[in-house]
Amino acid sequence: IAPYDGIDTDEIVRSADLALYASKGGGRGQFRFYSSDLHAQAERRRQIEEDLRDALAQDQIYLAYQPVVETKTNKVIALESLMRWEHPELGDISPSIFIPIAEEINLIGALGDWALKTACAAAAQWPGRVRVAVNVSPAQFGNPAFSSVVAQALATSELAPDRLELELTESIFLADDQSNDAMFAALKMLGVRLALDDFGTGYSSLGYLQKAPFDKVKIDQTFITGINEPGNRNAAIIKAIVGLAEGLGMETTAEGIEAHDELDAMRKLNVGSIQGYIY
């Protein structure tokens, strides 16, 4: 609305565009008026996008490692590497903000390859047989050269292949079946382990479990929260996932365990391992 949202054509069109963008982001059948927050948000996003392009070269990206603990023995059996960005002015920027941006501006391949190499090099120094889990984005997995990137990370670090676990989400299955099958075969040839991440939050098609050679299913936190509340249905769902995984010879990990009663519930449900922060 002129003159509030702009006094010339460029300004008013830009404001309308931001309102349109916000409306699209809100789902179907929505409308939005322009507000100055939209402008501030767009500015912030633009800055993040620009800074992200230099973040890796400037050593602002690092990996944090979250332990994966076996429920039966309480032993740490693996560490999941998680990408973090410490921005020099804005402080820690959440991966839920910068990963989608990295995907959009085609930076996720470079970031992902860096994470893979860095995590393998770190894990090679860890004692015993502790594994390292690395998250792989659909864009990385879809790159035909990905298996050679993995092979190279293993060779350089001298990490045993079965100590590397690649975490894939269901969104990789939106891509072409044949090239997926070829990539699965190439990765299995290398001897790395494969985990299906965030299970239950996407399409959760049983077809994926039938075809793809996963060693592990990771149960998303959405199925953990509230598990001990009366009338909560999560236990039934987890029980079914654990039964399915066991039948298919796959391990299970529950993510986002944040309280002792949740941990107890996972033990009762025979979930193989857990990760999360217990305060």
Provide, rounded to whole angstroms, the least separation between the CB of residue 209 and Mg ion.
Answer: 16
Nearer to Mg ion, 5 or 80 (CB): 80
Least separation in angstroms between CB 253 and Mg ion:
9
Instruction: Provide the minimum distance between the beta carbon of 7 and Mg ion in the complex, in angstroms, as a whole number.
Output: 48
Segment contacting Mg ion by CB under 5 A, of 61-69, 97-105, 197-205, 230-238: 197-205
Q: How far is the CB of 58 from Mg ion (least distance, A)?
A: 25
Q: Count of H helices and E strands in the chain?
A: 10, 9
Residues 63-92 that bind Mg ion (CB under 5 A): none
Choices 57-65, 179-187, 192-200, 203-211 (CB under 5 A): range interacting with Mg ion: 192-200
CB of 277 to Mg ion, least distance (A): 14
* 75-93 core/surface letters (b: 16 or more CB in 10 A; e: else): ebbbbbbbbebeeeeeeeb
For 255: left if phi > 0, alpha if psi spans -120 to 50, otherwise beta; the answer is beta
Residues 263, 260: Cα–Cα separation, whole Å: 5
Q: Is 165 in the site for Mg ion (CB under 5 A)?
A: no
Among 113, 197, 251, 262, contact with Mg ion (rule: CB under 5 A): 197
CB atoms near residue 169 (< 10 Å): 20
Q: How far is the CB of 247 from Mg ion (least distance, A)?
A: 22
Of 41 and 225, which CB lies nearer to Mg ion in the complex structure? 225
Print burial letters for 102-132: b (CB count within 10 Å at least 16), e (below 16).
bbeeebbbebbbebbbbbbebbeebeeebbb
Residue nearest to Mg ion (CB): 167
Answer yes or no whether residue 198 interacts with Mg ion by CB under 5 A.
yes
Which of 113, 167, 170, 262 touches Mg ion by CB under 5 A? Answer: 167
Binding window for Mg ion (CB under 5 A); candidates: 31-39, 65-73, 167-175, 200-208: 167-175
Asked if 133 contacts 195 with a C-beta cutoff of 8 angstroms, the reply is yes
Q: Closest separation between CB of residue 90 and Mg ion, Å? A: 24
Stretch that binds Mg ion, among 121-129, 166-174, 177-185, 233-241 (CB under 5 A): 166-174
Amino acid at 98: F
Contacts with Mg ion by CB under 5 A: the residue count is 4
Considering only residues 228 through 257, tell me which ones interact with Mg ion, judged by CB under 5 A. Answer: none
Q: Hunting for tokens 């045993």 — which residue is that? A: 160
- Site mask for Mg ion (CB under 5 A), range 129-148, x = bound: ------x-------------
DSSP secondary structure string, 116-144?
HHHHHHHHTTSSTT-EEEEE--HHHHTST
Closest CA to 252 of 196, 183, 200: 196
Q: What phi and psi values does residue 149 have, to the nearest 5 degrees? A: -65, -45
Q: Give me the residues that bind Mg ion (CB under 5 A), please.
A: 135, 167, 197-198
